[in-house]
């Protein structure tokens, strides 16, 4: 039951954090009236997600203002951990109703490469009635392209609804500084399950025997592409010694006994991407460990709790990527690795249990 609550806590934390992290861009792609509530959405989107690598010192932002055919437009570059976007605000001060064709917006990169938007869902045209305004969020096809690009020219076709005549709004963005997080598509939330077995033990902990197996689950949050933090819970169960001896003399000779070690810890995580599919992950941190020893009811159980440390090194392979209709990208990955637990000082029933435990693990995880 205790384990169930911990799993629920870790998973629900993932969902809440994801909801908060993506809220500012949820309104995108929909024509809006001049409602007071939308000012908040625009402001918070800009404050939290505007690309600082494209900002100008005169404005402290990426904003560009343009006007043509009675239409005023403002352009911003914004992004989240997965995609970069053009945030386009259109104010129709003309006497005509106009249509913005989102799919016909073009991006000219460094005057050489022309790209169309990277919508992963069916986007409709935006009709902007005379006197009204509209905010559109138009995704770039690739975030990684931003690494080498220094200039982006944007062209937005605006069509007179009545006559079909086309007018074009054009602007230019120039990169002012390189910010790596704006050029890499990465997952921000990760939830993984590990299973494995013991490889070796060192120190007094050997007296507890070797566990039959280990299971663990983790939730990690990455505010930056390469570093993050998280929570880990693991359980090693079924410690057994080959000659049926235990560190507690009263358990000696018992037909069977078992011990299990539970660990709940906080960790710092670093990951290195070799490619978009392969990444190496290293996690380290302190935790709280509980050792329970003994089995048969008439002999009782003994518990001890204390500080411990863990570190993990896992080589991961993202083998599947799913694009949800909502626009979310979900990665499924697997990995192989090593885990090391260190107990600096622990006693149980008067016996020392300090030492190191090293195990191997197989991982399955999901991230988004």
Partner 1 sequence: MKILILLLPILVACSSRMPFVRSEYQVLHVDEFIVSNAYVHPTQIERDEIHLSFSYRVIIKNQMNFSRKLDLANSTIMIGLRKIPISCKALSHGSIKFEMKAEETLAVDCLVKVNKGEGIFQVSDYKAIIEVPLEKKVAQFPYLLRAEDFQ
Site stretch for partner 1 (CB under 8 A), options 50-58, 192-200, 221-229, 340-348: 50-58
Could you say which of 8, 12, 15, 43 contacts partner 1 (CB under 8 A)?
A: 43
Q: How far apart are CA 173 and CA 153, in angstroms?
A: 6
Phi, psi of 340 (to 5 degrees): -135, 125
Could you say which of 18, 74, 97, 151 contacts partner 1 (CB under 8 A)?
A: 74
Could you say which of 6, 7, 17, 42 contacts partner 1 (CB under 8 A)?
A: 42
When the beta carbons of 93 and 103 are compared against partner 1, the nearer one is 93
- Asked if 174 touches partner 1 (CB under 8 A), the answer is no
- Asked if 73 touches partner 1 (CB under 8 A), the answer is yes
Determine contact, residues 321/308, Cβ cutoff 8 Å. no
Determine contact, residues 291/259, Cβ cutoff 8 Å. yes
Q: How far apart are CA 238 and CA 240, in angstroms?
A: 6
- Asked if 91 touches partner 1 (CB under 8 A), the answer is yes
Could you say which of 38, 123, 304, 334 contacts partner 1 (CB under 8 A)?
A: 38
When the beta carbons of 51 and 269 are compared against partner 1, the nearer one is 51
* Stated length of the chain: 368
Could you say which of 6, 31, 66, 80 contacts partner 1 (CB under 8 A)?
A: 66
Could you say which of 61, 142, 226, 240 contacts partner 1 (CB under 8 A)?
A: 61
When the beta carbons of 103 and 168 are compared against partner 1, the nearer one is 168
When the beta carbons of 91 and 97 are compared against partner 1, the nearer one is 91
- For residue 137, the cross-strand partners are 87
Site size with partner 1, rule: CB under 8 A: 29
- Asked if 46 touches partner 1 (CB under 8 A), the answer is yes
Could you say which of 9, 16, 34, 332 contacts partner 1 (CB under 8 A)?
A: 34
When the beta carbons of 135 and 231 are compared against partner 1, the nearer one is 135
Site stretch for partner 1 (CB under 8 A), options 33-41, 124-132, 296-304, 314-322: 33-41
- Asked if 60 touches partner 1 (CB under 8 A), the answer is yes
When the beta carbons of 36 and 162 are compared against partner 1, the nearer one is 36
Residues numbered 120-159 forming contacts with partner 1, rule: CB under 8 A = 133, 135
- Asked if 89 touches partner 1 (CB under 8 A), the answer is yes
Residues forming contacts to partner 1 in the complex (CB under 8 A) are 34, 36-40, 42-43, 46, 56-61, 63-67, 72-74, 76, 89, 91, 93, 133, 135
């Amino acid at each position: 039951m205790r384990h169930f609550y911990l799993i629920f806590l870790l998973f629900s934390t993932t969902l809440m954090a994801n909801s908060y992290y993506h809220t500012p861009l949820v309104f995108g792609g929909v024509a809006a009236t001049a409602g007071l509530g939308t000012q908040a959405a625009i402001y918070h989107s800009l404050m939290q997600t505007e690309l600082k690598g494209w900002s100008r010192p005169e404005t402290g932002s990426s904003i560009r203002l343009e006007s043509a055919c009675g239409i005023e437009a403002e352009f911003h570059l914004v992004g989240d951990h997965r995609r970069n976007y053009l945030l386009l605000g259109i104010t129709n001060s003309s006497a005509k109703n106009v249509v913005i064709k989102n799919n016909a917006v073009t991006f000219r990169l460094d005057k050489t490469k022309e790209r169309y938007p990277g919508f992963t869902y069916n986007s409709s045209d935006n009709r902007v009635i005379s006197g009204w305004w509209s905010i559109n969020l138009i995704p770039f096809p690739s975030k990684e392209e931003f690494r080498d690009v220094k200039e982006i020219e944007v062209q937005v076709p605006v069509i007179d609804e009545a006559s079909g005549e086309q007018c074009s709004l054009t602007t230019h963005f120039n990169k002012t500084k390189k910010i790596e997080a704006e050029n890499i598509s990465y997952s921000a939330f990760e939830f993984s399950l590990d299973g494995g077995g013991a490889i070796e033990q060192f120190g007094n902990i050997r007296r507890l025997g070797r566990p039959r197996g280990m299971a663990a689950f983790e939730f990690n949050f990455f505010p930056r592409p390469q570093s993050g933090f998280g929570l880990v819970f693991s359980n090693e169960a079924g410690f057994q010694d080959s000659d049926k001896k235990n560190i507690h003399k009263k358990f000696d000779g018992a037909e069977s006994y078992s011990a299990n070690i539970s660990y709940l810890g906080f960790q710092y995580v670093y990951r290195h991407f070799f490619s978009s599919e392969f990444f190496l992950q290293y996690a380290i941190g302190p935790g709280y460990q509980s050792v329970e020893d003994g089995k048969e009811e008439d002999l009782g159980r003994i518990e001890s709790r204390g500080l411990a440390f863990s570190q993990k090194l896992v080589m991961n392979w993202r083998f599947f990527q799913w694009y949800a209709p909502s626009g979310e990208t979900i990665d499924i990955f697997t990995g192989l690795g090593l885990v090391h637990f260190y107990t600096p000082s622990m006693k149980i029933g008067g016996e020392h249990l300090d030492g190191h435990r090293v195990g191997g693990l197989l991982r399955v995880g999901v991230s988004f």
